Structure 1
């Protein structure tokens, strides 16, 4: 199995590979050191009998080092390339390891009682509130939400959205009769006197128009008089009509109980009643509605509504200083304040989060755990072996080093006990 070229590894994996090589060198150096000590002690044991103890320790150290080298190597590959049974465990049993790991996570971690106990011991609402109440965090949440909303708006099909708006408009705006609800609405306005402001506005506009358009009355009546009427009489008639009109409008403006106002009230009452109960009036309104909102116009209206709304929303979402973004950030910060101060809200949020998490875990824990199994199955055996070795290989080299030391001590103790008992 050829190792991955260094330039293809991430900086973290490159550092792990360097550390692994250093520890392999240290463990190999310990083995070679034990071998050197064994050779020296074996060669001079007859001259110096005490070296027998050193030789026994070196023998034990070499045995321990070789045994642990074999055990560590067998996890990742065949020792010396020899296909010894039950070696190269990780590449040969990768899929089984993935399934076992997935089952372990599912049965030991993804359990409702474990998740509930952890979440109930964690003040989720308070922590979230403390984080959200910081203005910079509220701005970040708003910015991320704006980016997501903008992406969704751009991803939506304009034609599909226009179809939905058109269908909703037809179903809820055009298809229902307008007469009865419009008549009821008009009746409530007239009964409450809310239309008086509109009447006053109309009177004011008429008064202003009369003040600036006296010439419009020239010949308004006089042109209908016989030709033998003197011109001065004609002008007098026109001036009289104008002045009477001005007086009439002024009287209406000054008198809240003027008969003209009463006549308007009566007309609006009759119109309200007709819109609710007169089939002829209702039918004429429906005909007018259909004439105005025919199919092409509804489609154009839907397109105009969507394009205007979409353009406005995208502009507001993209501008950090827009009213929408500022109000959203303020709302997020206010939610954070409430989460840190409102005990009742904290309990509701904590309960909701805990119940939702437990429900998801109980319902989908097998699917969640299967992500581990499926992911491991897709991994290349050689690549998987290398990655695992880079992650834990350095620590495993300590096993080789410890095996050398423990083996040396064991060899020394065994030899010493044997000498003491057997001479």
Structure 2
């Protein structure tokens, strides 16, 4: 009775009995097994066909039990009509109720997947006809009961993520694994990024930041502190020493320069004497500056630097001139090239460090992870903070994107082919449904026997 409609030319039963190799119900020519909505196709597979063979065997068993009950009913009724008293009535009542139960459950099970006997009975072929509504209801159910911020927070709080994460990270092997994964991700990100794009962004950011910040007051404060601490004395010592050495080595050049600047009408021996005099005085002056820490010229340099430091902080004209100089320097191509090339150097250094298991970067990252794990495993306040961050993030995601998540469920179900969906579901749960038919036959027979026995006893 179950398969009496197998030979129909159309209808859900005919579609459901096609071999898994057919493409019925699917749009032809769509690449990659995608549905009309661009989602992965929900197709009927060879594994589903293997399960369906088990369903067919259970159908045969359930239908055979129905046929057996029907034969028993016929024989018991014949015996009763033939004048046999006693047991035929009980057997006929049980068999009759068993047939009713079996037929009722057959109708209920069949109505889930197709129209029984192909008849257009209302509220049958529920799965093929109500697939979209079921998907929408499933999405709404998941959204209301699983994607609630309160539910997610309570579940995460019960897991104790902070303590678990800390204990996990405190293991050296786990810290090594996380360090390796982070290094791989870092190398991948730096490899994907185009140098020209990053250089442009870095150069623009540095230039904009430098333009926006006034450097004169900061330079003035730094210079004033240097002079107050006497840190510039070494620089002055170095300059004096280098100047003395240069004068010693290039005395002829100095005297030639002095003689070359003399008037043409002066005698040459006078020019030589003047040049020699100037050179000796200049050498003496530089030597004294080099050897005498209290030389007046050194004091003059200190006063000049203090005055310049004060002007950098308070003099409007000096500050404006420094800002113009800064802008001119930043605008020079050489400076922009240096800023842009800095990224390439930093990128290469980071990639090299991330690739080396024993680099300072990876060793420090591993040590930081181990330290974080140890603290998380024991520090209740830190655990509470981490768990709060996780709960806030999860709550934000489910609250903000709950509609998109539930629409993924409903849209995916809508994209499935109705026939394939019905056949696939039947293949996976059909055996259990056939047990319902068997149970209905047995329970119906027992109920009929009890009812007949009670009625016969009361009638007697």
TM-score (norm 1): 0.75
Give the C-alpha shift of residue 195 in structure 1.
3.8
CA distance in 2, matches of 1:392, 1:248: 105
User: Is residue 5 of structure 1 aligned with residue 21 of structure 2?
Assistant: yes
Deviations 1:270-293 (A, max 9, x none): 332343345665455445444433
User: Is residue 216 of structure 1 aligned with residue 249 of structure 2?
Assistant: yes
**Number of the residue aligned with 2:305:** 268
User: Is residue 161 of structure 1 aligned with residue 198 of structure 2?
Assistant: yes
3-state secondary structure, aligned to 2:159? coil
3-state secondary structure, aligned to 1:293? helix
CA RMSD of aligned residues (A): 4.5
CA distance in 1, matches of 2:298, 2:428: 90
CA distance in 2, matches of 1:378, 1:37: 43
User: Is residue 35 of structure 1 aligned with residue 67 of structure 2?
Assistant: yes
The answer as to whether partners of 2:163 and 2:377 remain within 8 angstroms in 1 is: yes
**Number of the residue aligned with 1:139:** 176
The answer as to whether partners of 1:35 and 1:58 remain within 8 angstroms in 2 is: no
Sort the Cα spacing of 1:399 and 1:156 in 2 relative to 1 into closer, same or farther, 3 A: same
3-state secondary structure, aligned to 1:117? helix
Give the C-alpha shift of residue 93 in structure 1.
0.8
CA distance in 2, matches of 1:181, 1:365: 52
CA distance in 2, matches of 1:62, 1:195: 111
**Number of the residue aligned with 1:188:** 225
Give the C-alpha shift of residue 92 in structure 1.
0.7
User: Is residue 413 of structure 1 aligned with residue 450 of structure 2?
Assistant: yes
Residue in structure 2 matching 1:395, options 413, 421, 432: 432
1:287-326 residue pairs with structure 2 within 5 A?
Answer: 287-294=324-331, 296-297=333-334, 299-326=336-363
The answer as to whether partners of 2:94 and 2:446 remain within 8 angstroms in 1 is: yes
Residue in structure 2 matching 1:349, options 386, 391, 401: 386
User: Is residue 126 of structure 1 aligned with residue 158 of structure 2?
Assistant: no
**Number of the residue aligned with 2:140:** 103
**Number of the residue aligned with 2:406:** 369
Deviations 1:309-337 (A, max 9, x none): 33333444444444333322332332222
CA distance in 2, matches of 1:322, 1:334: 18
CA distance in 2, matches of 1:132, 1:393: 47
Deviations 1:92-148 (A, max 9, x none): 111111222222223333334433433333322112222222333333334444444
Sort the Cα spacing of 1:388 and 1:151 in 2 relative to 1 into closer, same or farther, 3 A: farther
**Paired residues, number:** 411
Sort the Cα spacing of 1:393 and 1:112 in 2 relative to 1 into closer, same or farther, 3 A: same
CA distance in 2, matches of 1:156, 1:329: 25
CA distance in 2, matches of 1:341, 1:164: 42
389-398 or 258-267, larger mean C-alpha shift: 258-267
The answer as to whether partners of 2:329 and 2:335 remain within 8 angstroms in 1 is: no
The answer as to whether partners of 1:179 and 1:275 remain within 8 angstroms in 2 is: yes
User: Is residue 334 of structure 1 aligned with residue 367 of structure 2?
Assistant: no
User: Is residue 381 of structure 1 aligned with residue 413 of structure 2?
Assistant: no
Sort the Cα spacing of 1:53 and 1:259 in 2 relative to 1 into closer, same or farther, 3 A: farther
3-state secondary structure, aligned to 1:87? coil
Runs of 5+ in structure 2 lacking a partner?
A: 1-14, 23-32, 34-40, 260-266, 270-276
TM-score (norm 2): 0.70
CA distance in 2, matches of 1:140, 1:383: 43
Give the C-alpha shift of residue 32 in structure 1.
1.0
The answer as to whether partners of 1:34 and 1:58 remain within 8 angstroms in 2 is: no
1:58-77 residue pairs with structure 2 within 5 A?
Answer: 58-77=95-114
Residue in structure 1 matching 2:53, options 13, 21, 25: 21
